[in-house]
Structure 1
Amino acid sequence: MNDLTQIVDALRKRGNKVTPQRLTTIEVLLSMGQQHFSVEELFQGVKQRNLDVGMSTIYRTVQILEEMGFITKRNFDDGFARYELCELDEKHWHHHIICLKCGKVIEMQDDFLETLEKEIEEKKEFIIINHELKVYGYCSDCYKIMKGEKFD
């Protein structure tokens, strides 16, 4: 997990300003943990701290942190860009299960594609850097409502 000092040091080393507004933005982002967040949700969290911060500051900070590899953009096909903190020592990102009814996103830490990756690398002489898997369906709560029965 990234911490505030690591991010601030990297920003300064890169030549980016670390203003009070940017610092608060990073603190709020870190407090969100592994939650998937939109820029608007991050903005609301920063505004709760009563800072004079504009949406452009939030967008620019998110862009810089994404470029630096501290956060990554996710698309869950719901029309919104979402972001999450990166684990820089992970070989692959985790996978996501997405409910088509309520939009709930469940993270899967298991990497079910390792065997497939090895096969692709050997048979196709292709070096895989990363992959992303999204599985769509219905969470148990929505399934219960839709079917009027328990999901087992």
Structure 2
Amino acid sequence: MAAIDDQLVKINKQLQSKGYKLTSQREATVRILLEYEQDHLSAEEVFMLVREVYPDIGLATVYRTLELLAEMHIVEKMNFGDGVARYDLRGDDHAHMHHHLICTVCGRLTEIKEDWLGELEERLEREYGFKVSDHRLEFTGTYMHCQRDGCKHGGKAVS
């Protein structure tokens, strides 16, 4: 719980630096994102979880909070090909977003925390004069066990 509280303090500072407050509704929303960080929740899923602790919150408030966090690059709004916007917290440990493997059979999502594109970024800057500020990489395909047996993971996120 201390790690979540530490991250809340950091996010609060980011909001304050742009003139925003960490209201109780925003804090409840951010806390859910932190607690369910591996799950890549949709706005509706965040809303349902926030309502368990903050029953008076409205869906529009959760949407506005998620959009604000996305504008401030605290979270990334992502679509993994299923037509649903999902929200993924940006990590402190890397300059760029982490990458994802997405199984087209079961929907399982695996995060790759390592940044494999450093050499490519250097080459882009050297050869094209283009300085990369961020990147995101998604691999779609099929896990071997899904090809053989059908998948038993049910779309669970894995790191």
TM-score normalized with structure 2 length: 0.80
Count of residue correspondences: 147
2:88 match: secondary structure: strand
Q: Secondary structure at the match of 2:53?
A: coil
1:70 and 1:88 in contact (8 A); partners too? no
Secondary structure, aligned partner of 2:133: coil
Larger radius of gyration: 1
RMSD: 2.3
Q: Give, in whole Å, the separation in 2 of the partners of 1:85 and 1:51.
A: 24
* Deviation of 1:5 (Å): 1.8
Please say if 1:139 is aligned against 2:138.
Answer: no
Q: 1:69 aligns with which of 51, 67, 73?
A: 73
Deviations 1:45-74 (A, max 9, x none): 111225211000100111111122211111
The CA deviation string for residues 60-106 of structure 1, in whole angstroms up to 9 with x for no partner, is 11111112221111121211111111124522221111100111111
Provide the identity percentage: 38
Match of 1:90 in 2: 94
TM (norm. structure 1) is 0.83
Paired position in structure 1 for 2:154: none
Matched, 1:57 2:61: yes
Partner of 1:6: 10
Q: Provide the residue aligned with 1:27 in structure 2.
A: 31
Structure 2: where are the runs of 5+ without partners? 151-159
1:111 paired with 2:118, answer no
Q: Look up the equivalent residue of 2:102 and give its one-letter code.
A: I
